[in-house]
Amino acid sequence: MEKFKPIVGTALAVLAVLAFATGCGSSDSGSSSGGGTSTSGSGESEGSGESIPVGVLSSLSGEVAPNGMPFAQGAQLGAETVNKEGGIKAMEGAQIDVTTSDDKSDPEAARQGALDLTGSDGVSAIVGPDGSGTCLGAAPVAEQNQVPLLCSGTDPTITSEGYEFVYNVGTLSIAFSETLIRFLEEVNKGGEEITKIGIIHEDGPYGSTFGEQLSSLAPKAGFEVVSNLSFSAGDPNLKPLVTRAADAGAQLLFVGSFSPDVITALKAVTTLDSNMLVASISGSVLVPTVAELGDVSNGVLAIANWNIAMNNRPDLASFTKEYEAEFGEAPTADAATGYMAMKSVAAALEQAQSSEPADIKAALDEVEAEIGITPAPKINYDEEGLLQPQEETTVVAQLQNGKFETIYPAEVATGKFKAK
């Protein structure tokens, strides 16, 4: 079996796709979206001989590739794990056969990828895309062709459009915002006095949503929002905005944007005479480029839907070990989400005892899956197809001495909050 190659940045993502598409034993379906590569789990056990085609649609190239490639790798590992453990037992050990398509970080390419996977590739279900924009691009196709699509995004419209075959395995932006407020309340009960919040966010839909939510939620919980300022994503100089928040007395600065902007903000904070904490969301913080900043990023908070360090999760250690062995890097939250989505498909296949898309959809509506690596012990999907329980899918992690420790909630915590 050929493997995805870990990447850092868009250029390497393109090389990874080219290597993947031309690798030993691959078969190209001719997908115009750049995917259509079919693989099976290595070390497969002998089952009934039946192969269940499942598509993985993700950003293997383009600006979202640093998130999309781990998502695809996690989904691939999920299929391999199921196959190694005997396949779909209710179907006499049938094996999951993964066909991968690159959405190129583009909603239109995601639409075309979904057309190919549900058409010529004939998959029974699709895992991905990983990202609200590409998910919304693929969703109408999956719905029209009545093939279950398990994508991941923070946008609530993914599952509020009335689609019956579209599921969101992601955590909505409101859940992240609510978790930050609950965490701060818990910290203050322990003796801290963090009462003033500064917000800076990129001016697109992603950042603006967090700015609106936190500025609404925080005052209701007794916190004062001392600044709420926007900027263009990629702005190399955020010091004026960071300074305004600090001068207004902010004790915590929430950065609603992407990883490069979080890094820029962290560097700006270090130039000030301030003990202001910095917080952001999952993939914007839980990346090597943040951890490698050393003292600049020490203490940064990540409001996340997963962390590599969590207590009381029985399969987390083996998942991490197998992922690192196969892909040469530590798994990310995106990798865990891809893995979770594929294991959800496997759980539905077990319950449905069928590879027919309509039967898988019916099972997804009822199944309660125990994944073993997620913050919530068990997951399911509500009547709209949204991952549940949303309030239990998030954790807070803090970078402490080069390692992200989970510090909230207590059930999965590996460390305790440390003030700057």
Q: What is the pTM of this model?
A: 0.85
Residue 3 has pLDDT above 50, yes or no: no
Find, among 313, 277, 255, 284, the residue nearest to 187 by Cα: 277
Q: How far apart are CA 192 and CA 357, in angstroms?
A: 52
As a whole number of angstroms, the distance between CA 119 and CA 123 comes to: 8
Planar angle of CA 122, 123, 128, nearest 5 degrees: 135
Q: Quick: pLDDT tens for 10-42.
A: 333 434 443 443 333 333 333 334 446 666 554
Residue 282: predicted pLDDT: 82
Q: What is the mean pLDDT of residues 331-355?
A: 96
Residue 5 has pLDDT above 60, yes or no: no
Which pLDDT value is given to residue 291?
Answer: 85
Name all domains of the chain by residue range, CATH numbers in brackets. Answer: 10-171+313-388 (3.40.50.2300), 173-304+394-408 (3.40.50.2300)
CA–CA distance, 254 with 199 (Å, rounded to integer): 5
> Once rounded to an integer, what is the mean pLDDT over residues 308-318?
94
Distance CA 37, CA 31 (A): 9
Model confidence band, residue 165 (pLDDT cutoffs 50, 70, 90)? very high
pLDDT, residue 306, reads 95
Say what the alpha-carbon torsion angle 303, 309, 314, 315 is, to the nearest 10 degrees: 90
- What is the rounded distance in angstroms from the CA atom of residue 176 to the CA atom of residue 186? 15
Give the integer Cα–Cα distance in Å for 62 and 47: 38
The pLDDT tens digits of the residues spanning 226-254 come to: 999 999 999 999 999 999 999 999 999 99
**Full strand arrangement of the beta sheet holding 51-58:** 37-40, 95-102, 51-58, 125-130, 149-152, 166-168
